[in-house]
Structure 1
Amino acid sequence: MPRLLVYSGIVACALLALVGVAWLANASWWSSYEAKTTILAHRGLHQTYTREHLESDTCTANRIHLPEHGYLENTLDSMAAAFELGADVVELDIHPTTDGQFAVFHDWTIDCRTNGKGVTRKQSMAYLKTLDIGYGYSADGGATYPFRGKFVGAMPTLDEVFERFPDKRFLINIKSRDPEEGRQLAKRLKQLPTEHQARLMSYGGDEPENTLSSEMPNMKTMGKKRLMECMTRYVAYGWIGVVPQACHNTLILIPMNYATLLWGWPNRFVERMHLAG
């Protein structure tokens, strides 16, 4: 019995020592790295809306709060306003069109926000340019539509975004899971100057993101599968300071409510990811 107690004590001390080493190795204050805050404007300046009973396919245009500004998401003016207010990066959404363009628009269909109907990617850019993208916005259940008639032809192409903001940083969201879309986007981005390409990042479905990454290996991309692989492995053994290969040369987007689960958060974690590219 005394021998068992001795062994138990040794094991307990070893575990405590291991916990202490892990804590010290991941203590944020131990790092001299000063993480810089990056401000990302989601779709530029946009109208906010109630999130009550919100589903993935809920139309958010007809549930906006009372407008406090006159900008709509994913428009050139809303992006300009976001940069003017201090955004470092603007996130935007894209869909390929039947006439070889990329439309900058969030929804899978045009029914919710515009006066048109149909799947966004099944339309020509020429047709999308005829639509009023402010048509469906309402803050009072449809009694009034404050943006109707003010945004006809305001859906931009990705080319127009690049022409308007050649020196700005963008995070491009590919909305589909079509690998061909990644190939089309890579073809377009390769036409940009190298310094412009370096300011672009992308996230979205695994299939198009994998294709984009293989076509443009220096571009920061992120698919859901790779993100999950990166994070689960880091949580499993990141405490020893090793960054999983899945986390190298990629883009990592993490909700703040999960961040405290990451070894070394904030400074030590950010330093490790920065060194991993």
Structure 2
Amino acid sequence: MLKEVTATRYVTPLREGGSLPGLVEADDLGTYVLKFTGAGQGRKTLVAEVVCGELARRLGFRVPRLVTVALDPVLGLGEPDPQVQELLRSSGGANLGMDFLSGALGFDPLAFPVDPREAGRIVWFDALVNNVDRSWRNPNLLRWHGELWLIDHGATMIWHHNWPGADTSAARPYDASDHALARFRPDVAAAAAELAPRVTQELLAEVTAEIPDAWLAGEPGFATPDDLRHAYAHALLLRAAVVHERITGVEEAK
């Protein structure tokens, strides 16, 4: 399971994200970007962050470390913004924290070149998890110590919003024409050859085991959190083998 820490101070809201994440300090002396269970997108956003973040890490991508952060709503009493106060009041218990990469720069596709191999790996991964939120307008990539880091995977795996249609949804193509890295001639074929065989049932079981039970409980159609974990793994396993054939909108490296 993810490391568990306790928030000791709410520092400031981060208004760049639609879910209004916040910056907090924790009892392990770490500083984290906190995503709240009480945000409008709900706990499925946090589940997507865990599944995609932990899968990406195991496939060799750079992703900020994830933790669960126990939040006492009393920390928000001194916050002057009523919207933030309400968010903190509704998010008591376990929330999701991501290491704060101090000094990181937002990725600009016009300023930072990316080689076709790395571009191909990221495009392939985004196709696997159906990430619709890595566009040139909003790359959700950071440049930190000269390397690319992947962030913000809440808008992925859209099939988990409608499980009865999950197999159909997961089989759809991925349009990468708007992707932040489409201009770098991503070598998707090489990425698929490298990464697809590594997406196994065992790896996905390891990844989905990181999701807290509380974020999975009560999903209609699933008797237990483990049943829901298996559904996430099943959809990704089916997609991994063939998704490279269904990526459209990019001119691959030759």
Q: TM over 0.5: same fold?
A: no
Structure number with greater CO (CA < 8 Å, separation at least 6) is: 2
Which of 1 and 2 has greater Rg? 1
Q: Which has the higher strand share?
A: 2
* TM-score under structure 2 length normalisation: 0.29
* TM-score under structure 1 length normalisation: 0.27
